[in-house]
C-alpha cells in the first residue's frame, strides 16, 4: 500500500522531534517580513537567518533554538531561486512546494546530520540504498574554498560506495540563500527512479530519471554585499528536502504530478465542463506534450495562488500573483480550451490535498476563489482588448509587413498590463516581431521615473534590465523598510528583485 503524502510529512517531523530532540516550528508565511533581500520564502532556513547571522534578539524565543524541525511553504518564482520556466515542462520543479527540514544551530554538525538523514531515508522510509547517490563539495580554487573531504569520509564510513559519492563545484554544492546572506558547502542526496544500473552520470544532469531529493547545507559563511565571505559566529546545519519529490519516490511514481498531492487536481481539471483533453500522464505522451504541460502548469499555479491569497495581506502578493495567475489563465484558455472559472474551480481540490496541514485553505477557500475569478475576468478582458488591438494594428494601412510598431507593444504593456514576454509571445503567434530597438528605447525612457527611498540590506546591480517601477505606496505594501532619505531604486518584475541604477552604487557601498 502507498504511503499517503500526509504520512510522509508526519514521519519526517516525528523522526526529528521524537527520536532526535528537535523542536517543531511552524512554517512562516511565504512572503517574508522584514527581509527585503527576498521576494518569497525560498527555503526552510529563511526564517532562521538571524540565528545564522548571530543577530537574533537574545530575549526572543528563537534565541533558545538549538535543534529545530519544520515543513516550510516555499515559492521559487522569482529572485535567486527562480524555477518558473521549468514548472510544467519537467515533473519535479514547482513554483510552490513544501520543504522538509531539520536544523542545528551550533549543536550537531556534519556527522550527525548525515547519519540521521541516511537512517531516515533507508531505515524509516525504506528506500533501497542502491538507488541513492550522494554529492559533496569539490572545493573552488578561485574563491579559496577547500574540498569537503570531511563529509566525503563521513559518507564512506556510513557505507556509501565511493562510486556513488560524487564531487561537484560551487553551482551544485555550495548553497546560497540569495545574492547575500548565509551560505556554505552542501552535500546532496539524489534518487535514481530507474535502478539496476550505474546512474552516476545522470546526477545533476537535469534528467527526470535521477532527481535531487535532499540538500544538507553546512552553514559556515555569510555572503556579504560586496560578495566576500565572512565566517559566521557559529557553524550550523540547514537541510531541505522537497516533500513532493520524496512522496513521488515513496509512492513509486516517476512524476510528482502522479502522487496524491496532485492527482486530485489533475482529475478536477479533467472534469471541467465542457470537457478538456485528457492528461497524457507521466512524462507527457507523444503529441500531447502541450496539453500535459498545461495540466501541470495549471495544477502547480493554482496551489501557489491559493497559498498566496490565503495570507491576510493579499496586496503584497499582487505583482507575483498576477504574473502567476496570468500564466495559469493563458494555459487554461489557450492550450486546454477550458471555460472561464476553471482555475477557481480547482481551489477545493487544493484545500482537499493541503487543508489538513494548512487549515486556512479550508476557511479561506471561498475568498480565494472570488479573488481568482475576479482577476481572471479582468485579465481575460485585457487579453481580448489586446488581441483586438494587435488585430487592428496588423490591418492598418501604414503597417509595415512583419515589423510590429513598438508604441503599440508598449501600450499593451503600460495600459493593459501585459508582461513584455507575453506581448512577444502574442506577436510571435501571429508571425510578427516588434521593432525591438524602438521598444528598448521606450522602456529605457520610461525607467527614468524613479522614487526616492532608502533601503537596507541591498547591493547595487546597475547593469540589470529594469522593467517595472513601483510607487512609494506599493513599496509600503511590500513592507520594505525605508526612510525619506533620497536613494533611487527600481524593482524588476522579471527578476523578482529590487534593482538599483548604477548611480546608487557608491551611495550604498
- Residue 159 contacts by C-beta under 8 Å, 6 or more apart in sequence? 129
DSSP 345-405: HTHHHHHHHHTTT-THHHHHHHHHHHHHHHHHHHHHHHHHHHHHHHHHHHT-TTPPTTEE-
The helix/strand/coil state of 504 is helix
Residue 215 within binding range of Mg ion, rule CB under 5 A = yes
Residue 166 within binding range of ligand ATP, rule CB under 6 A = no
Report the C-alpha gap between 142 and 127 in whole angstroms. 38
* x/- track of binding to ligand ATP for residues 190-229 (CB under 6 A): ----------------------xxxx--------------
With respect to ligand ATP, which residue has the nearer C-beta, 168 or 399? Answer: 168
Please work out, in degrees rounded to the nearest 5, the angle formed at the alpha carbon of residue 261 by the alpha carbons of 20 and 2: 70
- In this structure, what C-alpha cell is assigned to residue 506? 557608491
* x/- track of binding to ligand ATP for residues 64-83 (CB under 6 A): ------------x------x
Contact 105/234 with Cβ under 8 angstroms? Answer: yes
By CB under 6 A, what part of segment 88-117 binds ligand ATP?
93-94, 97, 99
Binding at 468: pick from Mg ion, ligand ATP, none (beta carbon under 5-8 Å per type): none
Least spacing, CB of residue 26 vs Mg ion, in Å: 24
Residue 245 within binding range of ligand ATP, rule CB under 6 A = yes
Least spacing, CB of residue 320 vs ligand ATP, in Å: 15
Report the C-alpha gap between 391 and 398 in whole angstroms. 14
Residue 242 within binding range of ligand ATP, rule CB under 6 A = yes
With respect to ligand ATP, which residue has the nearer C-beta, 43 or 276? Answer: 43
Burial 178-201 (b: 16+ CB within 10 A, else e): bebbbbbbbbbbbbbbeeeeebbe
By CB under 6 A, what part of segment 26-65 binds ligand ATP?
43
Binding at 245: pick from ligand ATP, Mg ion, none (beta carbon under 5-8 Å per type): ligand ATP
Q: How many residues bind ligand ATP (CB under 6 A)?
A: 16
DSSP 398-434: TPPTTEE-HHHHHHHHHTT---HHHHHHHHHHTT-EE
Question: Cell 548565509, residue?
Answer: 182
**Among 2-10, 28-36, 240-248, 351-359, which window interacts with ligand ATP (CB under 6 A)?**
240-248
By CB under 5 A, what part of segment 175-214 binds Mg ion?
212
Query: Footprint of Mg ion on this chain (CB under 5 A)?
Result: 212, 215
Which spans of this chain sit near ligand ATP (rule: CB under 6 A)? Answer: 43, 76, 83, 93-94, 97, 99, 212-215, 240-242, 244-245
Amino acid at each position: 500500500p502507498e504511503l499517503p503524502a500526509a504520512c510522509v510529512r508526519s514521519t519526517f517531523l516525528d523522526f526529528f522531534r521524537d527520536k532526535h530532540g528537535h523542536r517543531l516550528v511552524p512554517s512562516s508565511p511565504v512572503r517574508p517580513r522584514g527581509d527585503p533581500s527576498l521576494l518569497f520564502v525560498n527555503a526552510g532556513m529563511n526564517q532562521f537567518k538571524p540565528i545564522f547571522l548571530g543577530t537574533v534578539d537574545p530575549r526572543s524565543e528563537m534565541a533558545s533554538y538549538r535543534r529545530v524541525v519544520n515543513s516550510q511553504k516555499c515559492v521559487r518564482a522569482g529572485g535567486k531561486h527562480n524555477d518558473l520556466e521549468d514548472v510544467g515542462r519537467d515533473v519535479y520543479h514547482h513554483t510552490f512546494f513544501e520543504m522538509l527540514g531539520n536544523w542545528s544551530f551550533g549543536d550537531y554538525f556534519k556527522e550527525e546530520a548525515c547519519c540521521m538523514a541516511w537512517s531516515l531515508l533507508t531505515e524509516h522510509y525504506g528506500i533501497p540504498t542502491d538507488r541513492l547517490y550522494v554529492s559533496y563539495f569539490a572545493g573552488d580554487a578561485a574563491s579559496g574554498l577547500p574540498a569537503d573531504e570531511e563529509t566525503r569520509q563521513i559518507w564512506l564510513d556510513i557505507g556509501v560506495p565511493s562510486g556513488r559519492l560524487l564531487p561537484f563545484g560551487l553551482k551544485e554544492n555550495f548553497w546560497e540563500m540569495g545574492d547575500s546572506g548565509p551560505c556554505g558547502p552542501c552535500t546532496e542526496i539524489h534518487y535514481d527512479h530507474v535502478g539496476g544500473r550505474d546512474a552516476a552520470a545522470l546526477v545533476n544532469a537535469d534528467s527526470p530519471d535521477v532527481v535531487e531529493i535532499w540538500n544538507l547545507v553546512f552553514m559556515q559563511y555569510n555572503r556579504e554585499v560586496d560578495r566576500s565571505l565572512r565566517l559566521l559566529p557559529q557553524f550550523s546545519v540547514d537541510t531541505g528536502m522537497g516533500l513532493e519529490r520524496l512522496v513521488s519516490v515513496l509512492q513509486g511514481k516517476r512524476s510528482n504530478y502522479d502522487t496524491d498531492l496532485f492527482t486530485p487536481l489533475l482529475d478536477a481539471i479533467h472534469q471541467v465542463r465542457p470537457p478538456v483533453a485528457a492528461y497524457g500522464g507521466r512524462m507527457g505522451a507523444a503529441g500531447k506534450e502541450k496539453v500535459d504541460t498545461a495540466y501541470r502548469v495549471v495544477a502547480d499555479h493554482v496551489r501557489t495562488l491559493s497559498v498566496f491569497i490565503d495570507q491576510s495581506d493579499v496586496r503584497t502578493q499582487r505583482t507575483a500573483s498576477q504574473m502567476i495567475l496570468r500564466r495559469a489563465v493563458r494555459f487554461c484558455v489557450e492550450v486546454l480550451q477550458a471555460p472561464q472559472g476553471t482555475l477557481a474551480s480547482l481551489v477545493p481540490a487544493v484545500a482537499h490535498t493541503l487543508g489538513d496541514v494548512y487549515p486556512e485553505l479550508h476557511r479561506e477557500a471561498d475568498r480565494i476563489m472570488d479573488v481568482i475569478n475576479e482577476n481572471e475576468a479582468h485579465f481575460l478582458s485585457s487579453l481580448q482588448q489586446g488581441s483586438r488591438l494587435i488585430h487592428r494594428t496588423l490591418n492598418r494601412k501604414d503597417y509595415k509587413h512583419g515589423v510590429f510598431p513598438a508604441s503599440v507593444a508598449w501600450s499593451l504593456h503600460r495600459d493593459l498590463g501585459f508582461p513584455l514576454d507575453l506581448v512577444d509571445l502574442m506577436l510571435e503567434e501571429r508571425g510578427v516581431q516588434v521593432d525591438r530597438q524602438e521598444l528598448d528605447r521606450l522602456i529605457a525612457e520610461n525607467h527614468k521615473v524613479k522614487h526616492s527611498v532608502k533601503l537596507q540590506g541591498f547591493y547595487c546591480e546597475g547593469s540589470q534590465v529594469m522593467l517595472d517601477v513601483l510607487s512609494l505606496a506599493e513599496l509600503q505594501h511590500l513592507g520594505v523598510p525605508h526612510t525619506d532619505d533620497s536613494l533611487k531604486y527600481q524593482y524588476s518584475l522579471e527578476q523578482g528583485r529590487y534593482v538599483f541604477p548604477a548611480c546608487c552604487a557608491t551611495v550604498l557601498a
